[in-house]
Amino acid sequence: MELKQLRVSKKSLVLLLIGLLLCTNAALGSTVDIKVTRGGSPVPGVTVYIDDNNVGTTDSNGQRSNINVSPGFHIARAEGVSREFNVQFDGYAWVEIPI
């Protein structure tokens, strides 16, 4: 029985590795929790946006939790007040928005 040697170019290997990293990133994901406050107290029922996408409203504790985001810089907004935040690969961010 004869075994054939598989030859893989460096370019193909690099593309394969990049593809695997992108798939891993999508599978693991990153999350952010947002809390909206007024005078230091939580504000329930406020609509929260990330990068101009509605991600829901705050709960009775003024929070909107476990929001999936891609790694990188984002803008969270509630009632016209914005906060920029950065989340790392497979990371977590906490953002408080005082309105």
Could you tell me the strand order of the sheet in which 72-78 lies? 53-57, 47-50, 72-78, 81-87
Task: At 87, list the tokens.
Answer: 């989340």
21-54 pLDDT tens trace: 665 545 457 999 999 999 999 999 999 999 999 9
Cα separation of 92 and 70, whole Å? 10
Task: Report yes or no on whether pTM surpasses 0.85.
Answer: no
Cα separation of 10 and 18, whole Å? 12
The reported pLDDT for the residue numbered 94 is 95
What structural domains and CATH numbers belong to the chain?
A: 30-98 (2.60.40.1120)
Cα separation of 32 and 49, whole Å? 12
- Rg (the chain; Cα; Å): 20
